[in-house]
Amino acid sequence: MAEYDYDMVVIGSGPAGQRAAIQSAKLEKRTALIERKAVLGGVCINSGTIPSKTLREAVIYLSGYRLRSIYGESYTVKQNITIEDLLFRTEHVIRHEIDVTRHQLQRNGVETINSEATFVDPHTLRLTMVDRSGERTVTTENVLIATGTEATRDAKIPFDGQNIFVSDDILGMKRLPRTLAVIGAGVVGCEYASIFSALGIRVTLIDRSRRLLPFVDAEVVEALDYHLRQNRMTLRFNEAVSGIELVQNGADTRVKIHLASGKEIVAEKALYSIGRTGATSKLNLEAAGLKADDRGRLKVNENYQTEIPHVYAAGDVIGFPSLASTSLEQGRLAACHAFGIEAKSTPALFPYGIYTIPEISYVGKNEEELTQENVPYEMGKASYREIARGQIIGDSIGMLKILFHRETREILGVHIIGESASELIHIGQAVMSLGGKIDYFVNTVFNYPTLAECYKNAAFDGVNRLNG
């Protein structure tokens, strides 16, 4: 049997890489985690999930967004909010999360190597040290690729990081604009568009599709669409961008966006958000017998194995759903499979959280999917405005919807829009995981006043619909 330097080498320290490395170390395997950037945590901690959600929370607080329905649209905690105000909170959280990650890896005995990794062959990696101290070659029995993604850039667009930028550039912004165009209405585009709109910035959101977030329940998306328009956002659907240019307007620079339909949109800044590309271009995948697709992503099986059985991939680098939560689980499952440890998961019940303003979360099937599958379902709905807690916190737009089977009464899906949606969803997820029925919520007592009461109200609504 070949003797390797490591039992597992993980490339990338984002959620998938962290969890895989820690799981491997807990199994008493010799584990190394390779990170090419100066800080741990990958995009999730440094420029993606954590910064964007912290930025969102800072915007909601400083703008007074949560309390406008009570104190009026002019209410704000701070006048003239600056980018420095927003980054103060963001930088604090980033530093804390990096420290927590480093401590977790250290106490579990994971060797962290600050270097860039490239394949020499399927079991060998060349590590080029970031501090320029040289190179070393290591061998490993198993490899997990968790390099994440990079914001996709078009070579024809004059990105400068300030006027025309991608989501990875946002923390480097020097000032907030008065007008902003967001190109691409995927999850990232929608999140940032709603965040900037909550600050009073005039936002135009442009996308090729017919509607926002086509994988989300249509009724929930309609509610989001309505709220964004009420917040003075302009939505341009079925529009393709044919060109973007910088235009000098006296001392000021403007961005002019040309649409294939002949329209032109002018804004102070433009966020280009048409997706992300797998960060695999520097791995020399060919030496491992692998090839990424045209978006840099790797194909894996149900055990997160690539075409080379001992080379695994997890996280954003394998594509949808590209969530930190699912990436953590994928990393754990991949490490367990690599060492023959039985581990179970329920991907069909993974919750999805979209941190727009208002936020969205769901688990299970939506109405469109159930209709296509000819499943006889019924639904029950509850509005936050009918719940005392909704009135207390000032959320009059929130809604919770339960989908359940008409005959078995089994819960098939839960869809929420509104304050704490990503927290509330776990109640529905837990009941679904245990095979619960709509009657569970009818018979359960929830604390009063809470948003969780929506489950009971929705259940009563659904049962009443069954009886006509």
What is the C-alpha to C-alpha distance for residues 326 and 49, in angstroms, rounded to an integer? 13
- Contact call for residues 368 and 410 (beta carbons, < 8 A): no
- CA proximity to 34, closest of 24, 25, 21, 44: 21
Q: For residue 133, what pLDDT is reported? A: 80
3-state secondary structure of 270: strand
* pLDDT band of 44, cuts 50, 70, 90: low
The superfamily (CATH) of domain 358-467 is FAD/NAD-linked reductase, C-terminal dimerisation domain (3.30.390.30)
Amino acid type, 69? S
The superfamily (CATH) of domain 6-151+277-347 is FAD/NAD(P)-binding domain (3.50.50.60)
Domain locations in the chain as residue ranges:
6-151+277-347, 164-274, 358-467
* pLDDT band of 45, cuts 50, 70, 90: low
Average of pLDDT values for 405-430? 98
What is the C-alpha to C-alpha distance for residues 188 and 205, in angstroms, rounded to an integer? 12
Q: What is the pLDDT of residues 375-406, one digit of tens each?
A: 999 999 999 999 999 999 999 899 999 999 99
Angle between helices 218-230 and 187-198 (to 10 degrees): 30
Q: For residue 97, what pLDDT is reported? A: 87
Give the CATH number of domain 164-274; options: 3.50.50.60, 3.30.2350.10, 1.20.120.80, 2.130.10.10.
3.50.50.60
- Contact call for residues 237 and 215 (beta carbons, < 8 A): no
What is the C-alpha to C-alpha distance for residues 201 and 189, in angstroms, rounded to an integer? 15
- Are domains 6-151+277-347 and 358-467 of this chain identical in fold? no
* pLDDT band of 72, cuts 50, 70, 90: confident
* pLDDT band of 1, cuts 50, 70, 90: very low
* pLDDT band of 49, cuts 50, 70, 90: confident
Task: Give per-residue burial for 81-99: e unless 16+ CB within 10 Å, then b.
Answer: bebeebbebbeebbeebbe
What is the C-alpha to C-alpha distance for residues 353 and 133, in angstroms, rounded to an integer? 42
Dihedral-angle region of residue 127 (phi above 0 means left; psi in -120 to 50 means alpha; beta otherwise): beta
- Contact call for residues 388 and 449 (beta carbons, < 8 A): yes
229: exposed, middle or buried (C-beta count within 10 Å: 0-12, 13-18, 19+)?
exposed
- Contact call for residues 22 and 52 (beta carbons, < 8 A): no
Q: What is the pLDDT of residues 274-308, one digit of tens each?
A: 989 999 999 999 999 999 999 999 999 999 999 99
What is the C-alpha to C-alpha distance for residues 468 and 457, in angstroms, rounded to an integer? 17
Q: For residue 73, what pLDDT is reported? A: 80
What is the C-alpha to C-alpha distance for residues 392 and 135, in angstroms, rounded to an integer? 60
Supply the DSSP string of 84-132, one letter for each residue: HHHHHHHHHHHHHHHHHHHHHHHHTTPEEEEEEEEEEETTEEEEEETTS
What is the C-alpha to C-alpha distance for residues 327 and 14, in angstroms, rounded to an integer? 9
- Contact call for residues 411 and 429 (beta carbons, < 8 A): no
Sheet architecture: strand order including 411-417: 352-354, 360-364, 411-417, 399-405, 377-383
What is the C-alpha to C-alpha distance for residues 462 and 379, in angstroms, rounded to an integer? 5
What six digits make up the tokens of 166?
């991608």
